Structure 1
Amino acid sequence: MVNALREIRQLRQSVAGADDSTVLRLARMLDALPVRGEVDALLEPVRPRLAALGITRPLRLARLLFLPLDGAVVPARAWARGTPTLPRSAIPVLAAILLADPEGAAVALAAEGHSLADREVVAALGARVWHLAARVLPDAVPPDWNRTGLTAADYAPILALCRPAWQAGPVIWDAVALADQGPPEQLAERALRAVAAAGPMPLAATLATLARRASAPGALAVVAAGVSPSLRGPAVQLLETILKAPPPEFGQLDPRRAADLALATARRLDDLEACPLLAGDRQAAVRTYRRAADEACRAAFAEAAQAELAGPAARLAAAPEVTEAEVAAMEQGARRLRALESAGRRIGGAAAYDRAIRDMVAQLRGLGQSGGGPGGLTRIDVLRSIEILAGSDAAEALLQGG
C-alpha cells in the first residue's frame, strides 16, 4: 500500500504539468472505473482545469449525490475538523451505502449514459437520491467508515453538514444549474434560505457550492450577506480566496477554450469590481488579479499566435505545393486567434494586443509579398487570414502592395 500511494503521488506530480489531451484522457479513464479509490487523487492537481477543458463527466451516483455540496468538497489531506467542508475520502463510503439500497441502485442504473450536462436528468435523479440520502444514511457510524481515513467522531458532524444540503438539494441545484447566469439572485437567495435553519456550517457549504461555479461571485456574496449576517465573513473570505488564486491557465487550453475562459474571467472581474463588500485594499487586490490575468492571457495569445498562424503560414510559404485544406486550416487558426484577442481585451492590455496584431500582420504581409511557386501559397491566401485577424484595412494594404 505504501508503494502504491508513493506511485500515486509521483503520478499526480506528472499530471499537474500534463497537456490538455493527457488530462482529458486520464479523466475519461478514471471516469470509466466502477470504483476509483486512491487513484482518484490523480485528478486533484487538474480539477480546476477540467471545467475549462469542457470535458463531459458521466453521471455517477456519487457525483450526483454530492452536487449540492460540490463547493465544500476538499482533498482529505486539506480537510480540517470544525470547517464547513467535506473530505473527498468520505464520498465513496457514503455513496456505497446508497448503492446498496434498491432505490439508490435504481438511480445509478438510470444515470448510465447521461452526464452533468443533462440538466433535467440531473434534477430528476438528483431529487430522488438526495431525498434518499437524507432519509436512509444512518446516524450510527457505518462499518466501512475506517476506509475514509477519518475517526468515528468525524462521522456525525459530516452527516450534519450533508443532510441539510441533501434536503434542500433540488433548490440548490436550481441555482447551481444557472451559475453561469450569476446565478440569478432570486435562485441564490432561495437556495441559501433553504439551509439557513440548519446553522452556519451547512449555510457556508451551500454558499461555497454556489460560488464555485458562479459567474458573478461578488453579487452572490452580497445576496449571502443579506440572507444571514453569519455569511458576511465567509462570503468575503470566498472572494478573497478567488483573488489570491493564480490567474487562469489560459496557455494550457486551446485558443477557443482560452477565449471562453478569458470572457468568463473578464465578466467575473467586472463583477468583483462592482461588489460593495470589496472596498479599499480589497479593490487593490482586484486590480492586481486583473493585471495577472491580463499577463497570462497575453502570454497565451503570443504562444497561440506562433502555433496557430505564424508557424503554419511560414511552413506553407516555403512549400512548393499548398492544398486548399491547408489554407483553410491557416484561416481557422486566424479565427481562433481573433477570438482569443477579442476576449483578452476584455481583461485588459489593449495596447499590447494592438502591437501583437501589427507585428503579426507585418510578418504575414512579408510572406504574402514574397510570392511562391505556381502551386504554393499566394498573396490572396495570406490576405484572407490577415482580414480575419486584423480587418479589411490591413488586408487592403497587402492587396495594394503596401
Structure 2
Amino acid sequence: MIEGGAIRDLAKDLRDASDSAILRVTGMIDRLPERGASDRLLDGLRPRLCALRPPRPLNFSRALFMPLDAVIVPPNQWHVSDGTIPRSLIAPVAALVESQYPELPSLQAMLAAGKLPQAAFWRQAAEILSASPMPDSWRAAEFQTSTGIAPQALTPLLAAIRVVFAHVGLFRANGRSATLGAPAWHESAWRAPAVQSLRPLLLAAARSGPTTWSVVLTLLFEQSTEPAALVETVTAVTAETRLAAPLGDGLRRVIGAVIDKLDQAAPQPSPGSVLSDAALDAQSLRAARLAGFSALRGEMVGFARSLTARRQEMASECAAQLADGLNSAPTACAASGEAASCMPGTPEERQGAAERLESRLKALRRLDLAARPLGEAQTHETLLAQAAAFYCGNDGPAWLERGDRLRLCEILVGAEAALRLAGMS
C-alpha cells in the first residue's frame, strides 16, 4: 500500500492530469479490496470527479451516505461547526450499520446490480444508529488520530446523520427535463426536497441541536436552485420554535458558507480540450445556484448584493463557454473514438455522431438557460441564432440528415424559429 509522501506526490501530479488519467486512477482505487490511504488521492479531485461523473461501484458505504454526499468533505477540511461530515466517518458508521442490517444479502445483490435501495434502507439505518451504543473503540485516541474527529464531536455528528437518514424519503430522485433530456442541472441521485415538504425535517433538525441544524441546512442549500423560497420556509419553521434567534444565526452562517464555496466548484477542461457534457451540466448548476442566491431578499438581501461582481464574472464566463462549445461541437462530435475525422463514413458512424452532437447541444442549451438570469442574454441569443443558421444552412456538417439538422436547430432556438430557418414556415 502506498503511504505518506508518495501519496502526496501522486495527488499533486493528478491535479493537472488529463480526464482519462483521472478516470483510470479512480477505477483502480475503486477496485482495491481495502482502499486505505489510497483514497486520499481522490480528495483533491472531488470537484473534477463531480463533473466527469465516472461510473462507480455501488457498495454499501457509498449507498448509505449517498443522501449526504453534498456535505461530505476531506477530514482536513472539516470543522465541527461548519455543517459538513468528515469523509473519515463514513467507513466506521457504514461498518456499524452493515454489521446489524437485517437483510444484508438481498441488499448486496441489489447494489451489485446497480440498483438504489428504497427509503426504508435509510430509515432502518437510522434505527440501527439510534439503538446502537457508540463502540468503545471510537472513543480511543487511535480513532481520533485516524479520523480527525474528537470524541465530543461524534455524538452530534451521529445525530445529524440519523436525522437525514430518517427523513430521506423527502429527497427525490432527480427528474429529467422533457425538453432537453438531461437531469435538472446535474446527475446526482438526490435533490433537495420540495420546499413545501420540509417542515418535518427542519423541525427534527432544530430539536436535534446546532450541528444537525447546520448539516441539514447545508445539505439543502448546497443542492437548491431556489434558495429564496428555501429561506422563506426555514424562517417560517424557526418562528415556530423557541430558538428562532440562534436558528436564524445558524441559517445566515450556512448561507454565507455555501455562497463562499460557489467558486470552488468551477469545472475546468482538461488541457487542450473543451468542457465535457457533464462539466457543462456542473457549470449549469453553479450558474443556476448563483442566480438563485442573487434573488435573496429581506434580511438576506445583503448576500444578494455581495454577489454583483460574481454575477458579472460568471455571466461572461458562461457566455465564453457557450461560444467555445458551439464552435467546437461539430468537429468534436463527428470524431469516432480516438479518430480525429470530421466526416463519419458509415451510417452507424453518422448516427453516432448525430447523437453525440445532439447531446452536446442540449448540454449547451441547459447552460444557456441557467446562465441567462446572470446577464449576457443578448450574447446568448446571437450565439444560438448563429449556430442554428449554421446547421440549417449550406455550411453545416454534410453528414447530417435534414431531419437531424432540424432537430438540432429546434434544440438551439425552438421549433418555430427552426422551421423558419429551414424554410418550412
- TM-score grouping bracket, smaller chain normalisation: 0.7 to 0.9
Taking the aligned partners of 1:269 and 1:152, their CA distance within structure 2 comes to 32
Taking the aligned partners of 2:360 and 2:63, their CA distance within structure 1 comes to 37
Kept in 2: contact 1:79–1:86 (CA 8 A):
yes
Within a 5 Å distance, the mapping from 1:78-227 to structure 2 comes to: 78-81=77-80, 84-99=83-98, 101=99, 103-104=100-101, 106-107=103-104, 110-114=107-111, 118-119=115-116, 121-138=117-134, 140-142=136-138, 146-149=142-145, 154-163=150-159, 165-166=161-162, 169-171=165-167, 173-177=168-172, 182-227=192-237
Structure 1's 385 and 153: CA in aligned 2 closer, same or farther, altered over 3 A? closer
Kept in 2: contact 1:131–1:167 (CA 8 A):
no
TM-score, scaled relative to structure 2: 0.71
Kept in 1: contact 2:284–2:367 (CA 8 A):
yes
Structure 1's 334 and 161: CA in aligned 2 closer, same or farther, altered over 3 A? closer
Structure 1's 360 and 138: CA in aligned 2 closer, same or farther, altered over 3 A? closer
In structure 1, the partner of 2:12 is 13
Q: What amino acid is aligned across from residue 217 of structure 1 in structure 2?
A: P
In structure 1, the partner of 2:186 is none
Number of positions where the alignment pairs a residue of Structure 1 with one of Structure 2: 383
Structure 1's 381 and 250: CA in aligned 2 closer, same or farther, altered over 3 A? farther
Deviation at 1:93, TM superposition (A): 3.2
Kept in 2: contact 1:182–1:216 (CA 8 A):
no
Deviation at 1:309, TM superposition (A): 0.9
SS at 2:303 equivalent:
helix
Cα RMSD after superposing both structures: 4.2
Matched, 1:249 2:267: yes
Taking the aligned partners of 1:152 and 1:332, their CA distance within structure 2 comes to 47
Matched, 1:351 2:378: yes
Kept in 2: contact 1:71–1:206 (CA 8 A):
no
Deviation readout 1:184-232 (Å, 9 max, x if unpaired): 1243221121232222122212222233333433433333333333232
Structure 1's 311 and 130: CA in aligned 2 closer, same or farther, altered over 3 A? closer
Matched, 1:388 2:408: yes
Deviation at 1:280, TM superposition (A): 4.4
Structure 1: gaps of 5 or more residues: 370-376, 398-402
In structure 2, the partner of 1:231 is 247
Structure 1's 383 and 29: CA in aligned 2 closer, same or farther, altered over 3 A? same
Structure 1's 192 and 117: CA in aligned 2 closer, same or farther, altered over 3 A? farther
Taking the aligned partners of 1:55 and 1:118, their CA distance within structure 2 comes to 16
Taking the aligned partners of 2:14 and 2:162, their CA distance within structure 1 comes to 33
Deviation readout 1:156-196 (Å, 9 max, x if unpaired): 3212321353156221x123336866421243221121232
Structure 1's 214 and 18: CA in aligned 2 closer, same or farther, altered over 3 A? farther
Q: What amino acid is aligned across from residue 104 of structure 2 in structure 1?
A: V
More relative contact order in 1 or in 2 (CA 8 Å, sep 6+)? 2
Taking the aligned partners of 1:206 and 1:226, their CA distance within structure 2 comes to 16
Structure 1's 18 and 304: CA in aligned 2 closer, same or farther, altered over 3 A? farther
Structure 1's 312 and 201: CA in aligned 2 closer, same or farther, altered over 3 A? closer
- Identical-residue share of aligned pairs (%): 21
SS at 2:171 equivalent:
helix
Structure 1's 163 and 16: CA in aligned 2 closer, same or farther, altered over 3 A? same
Deviation readout 1:236-278 (Å, 9 max, x if unpaired): 3333334332264174686543554455445434432333357
Deviation beyond 6 Å, 4+ runs, structure 1: 311-317, 361-367
SS at 1:183 equivalent:
coil
Q: Kindly indicate which of the two structures has a greater share of residues assigned to helix.
A: 1
Taking the aligned partners of 1:380 and 1:59, their CA distance within structure 2 comes to 38
Structure 2: gaps of 5 or more residues: 175-189, 239-243, 413-417
Structure 1's 97 and 280: CA in aligned 2 closer, same or farther, altered over 3 A? closer
Matched, 1:338 2:338: no
